[in-house]
Amino acid sequence: MSRKDKEKQIPEEELMTEVPEEPSENETETAEETSGQDGDALKKELEEANAKTAEYLAMAQRVQADFENYRKRNETVRADAFADGRREVAAAMLPVLDNLERAVGAAADSVDEALKNGMELVLKQMTDIYQKMDVTPIDRKGERFDPNLENAVLQGTAEEGEPGTVCQVLQKGYRMGDRVLRHAMVKVVAE
């Protein structure tokens, strides 16, 4: 075989491959419809997925906000409970303070100076503790009667002061900050 013959010879592989046929018009329309339907279905799936994502995001944000509110509420409740506990302890110790004050008053006539000094030291310790806890006595002698701070247990005469004023404190009242631990028992001048 000559060189020209070899070039003219078409390899078998090329002969075996088919030339792709042009799709018919019918097939093209069907493919476009199918891809259009697939595209619509994919768009719908994407929209549904986006809607679900937005729903889950909103749900997660609500849960996070609820947890934050719970945490803040829990802190407030805990702080209130602690403050209530402090007030209860301070109020429970008030009779002890009253008795110490009475004992120091009674010991003023005592001949035993060591006992008197010891009781005064204990009383001072108690009052110092109450000061640190912001517990202050309610002493409103000579001021207008206030039912929010005092309980009127006796009525005084006009000679004891102006009508409607406190003329005598029978038992001290105490407050812690702006809250009353115990109302003062007072004698009020009649109006």
Confidence at residue 174, expressed as pLDDT on a 0 to 100 scale: 96
Rounded-to-integer distance, Cα 150 and Cα 88, Å? 19
Confidence at residue 14, expressed as pLDDT on a 0 to 100 scale: 54
pLDDT bracket for residue 17 (50, 70, 90): low
Find where tokens 């020209």 sit: 4
Considering the entire predicted model, what is its pTM?
A: 0.62
Highest mean pLDDT among 9-23, 24-38, 125-139: 125-139
| Structure-model confidence comparison of residues 29 and 166, the more confident one | 166
Confidence at residue 113, expressed as pLDDT on a 0 to 100 scale: 86
Confidence at residue 10, expressed as pLDDT on a 0 to 100 scale: 57
Q: Within a 10 A sphere around the Cβ of 122, how many other Cβ atoms?
A: 14
Q: Is the pLDDT of residue 28 over 80?
A: no
**pLDDT, average across residues 128-136:** 94
Structural domains in the chain plus CATH codes: 49-133 (3.90.20), 137-191 (2.30.22.10)
Confidence at residue 26, expressed as pLDDT on a 0 to 100 scale: 55
| Structure-model confidence comparison of residues 95 and 11, the more confident one | 95
Confidence at residue 107, expressed as pLDDT on a 0 to 100 scale: 82
pLDDT bracket for residue 110 (50, 70, 90): confident
Confidence at residue 34, expressed as pLDDT on a 0 to 100 scale: 59
Burial (0-12, 13-18, 19+ Cβ within 10 Å), 168: middle
Q: Is the pLDDT of residue 27 over 80?
A: no
| Structure-model confidence comparison of residues 14 and 38, the more confident one | 38
Rounded-to-integer distance, Cα 113 and Cα 128, Å? 22
| Radius of gyration of the chain from its Cα atoms, rounded to whole angstroms | 47
